[in-house]
Amino acid sequence: MSTATAPREDRTAPATRRRPPPRPARVVLHVFLAAVAVGWLFPILWAVLTSLRSYEYTATNGYVSLGGWTLDNYVTAWRTAEFGKHFLNSVYITVPAVLLTLFLASCVAFVIARFSWRTNVVLLGLFTAANLLPQQALLIPLFRLFTQVPLPAFMSDSELLYDSYWGLILVNVAFQCGFCVFVLSNYMKALPRDLYEAAMVDGASVWRQYWQVTMPLCRPALAALATLEVTWIYNEFFWATVLMRTGDKFPVTSSLNNLRGEFFTDNNLVSAGSVLVAIPTLVIFFLLQRQFVRGLTLGASKG
């Protein structure tokens, strides 16, 4: 049957999708989309452009001019704002937080997808909803809690959960778990059940079923989520702003706010700083674009 109808479909399907000769409508469409795309890129391009020009030149000739090319803004911004230190702070927070989030979320997702307990729907709801609550609505008790929980001095020089990397890692993990549980449990539910039957016949424990059967199969989803979570936790601003006090310990995204004072009158420096902060996310975006986009839509398309 398929051989009989295949050629016919081949002819009719492209007929509706065939690329027509350039019609005026098509041209208008392209012009419109190109204009929108350029408009969308413009603020970012403008920031890059501004960062590459000297303050003196733009101050005398105005920002709408060309010339005064220099890389000095990057050097100055990097030095005065101590970007190296702040990037490192971001690494200390982001890397453990992403790894922990993925590990803990995959554990819960595995149990939800693997076992059919009545409580699983409740569990899934509890995790997913936690990710959607407004952070500010939890701020007051969390702030109090963090200032009351002591940590040994070798873990945090504030000797509190407040103003420590540990506190920020924990709060980020608690918040991001929900999204990952949701995506991973959907992903795991789609894995064939036979796999587990076979694994059980072979006498595999639950842990082995999780670690050696399920996790390797979830690699695409984990990669997509990792990309997304790195971006989100790196970009996280609110918790670091309210749960940190020492300027030296701020991750780079929230340290931006402290930097503005220093750069206040010099937009060329502000733009160089902005570009520096954006670089890690832009690198991830261009290298792992497919993963990033897949991650964003994993949560939506397969609800």
Q: Which residues pair with 53 in a beta bridge?
A: 69
223 binds another protein (CB under 8 A): no
Integer Cα distance of 145 and 143 in angstroms:
5
Integer Cα distance of 179 and 131 in angstroms:
6
174 binds another protein (CB under 8 A): yes
Q: Which stretch binds another protein (CB under 8 A): 72-80, 89-97, 214-222, 238-246?
A: 238-246
**Cα torsion at 142, 148, 149, 152 (round to 10°)?**
140
Q: With contact defined as beta carbons under 8 Å apart, do 181 and 124 qualify?
A: yes
Residues 182-211 that bind another protein (CB under 8 A): 182, 186, 189-190, 192-193, 200, 205-207, 210
Q: Which of 31, 75, 121, 195 touches another protein (CB under 8 A)?
A: 121
Closest CB to another protein among residues 76, 235:
235
Q: Which stretch binds another protein (CB under 8 A): 69-77, 89-97, 213-221, 235-243?
A: 235-243
Integer angstrom CA distances of residue 252 from 182, 267, 284: 29, 18, 16
DSSP codes joined into one string, 68-120: -B-SHHHHHHHHHTTHHHHHHHHHHHHHHHHHHHHHHHHHHHHHHHH---THH
Amino acid symbol at 186: N
76 binds another protein (CB under 8 A): no
Site string for another protein, 1-20 (x = CB under 8 A): ---------------xx---
Q: Which of 118, 152, 153, 216 touches another protein (CB under 8 A)?
A: 118
Q: With contact defined as beta carbons under 8 Å apart, do 298 and 224 qualify?
A: yes
CB of 252 to another protein, least distance (A): 10
CB of 7 to another protein, least distance (A): 18
Locate the DSSP E strands across the chain: none
Count the neighbouring beta carbons within 10 Å of the beta carbon of residue 259: 23
Q: Which of 79, 115, 150, 287 touches another protein (CB under 8 A)?
A: 115
267 binds another protein (CB under 8 A): yes
Closest CB to another protein among residues 152, 303:
303
Tallying the residues shown for the chain, one arrives at 303
CB of 75 to another protein, least distance (A): 19
Residues 148-167 that bind another protein (CB under 8 A): none
Q: Which of 91, 95, 99, 139 touches another protein (CB under 8 A)?
A: 139
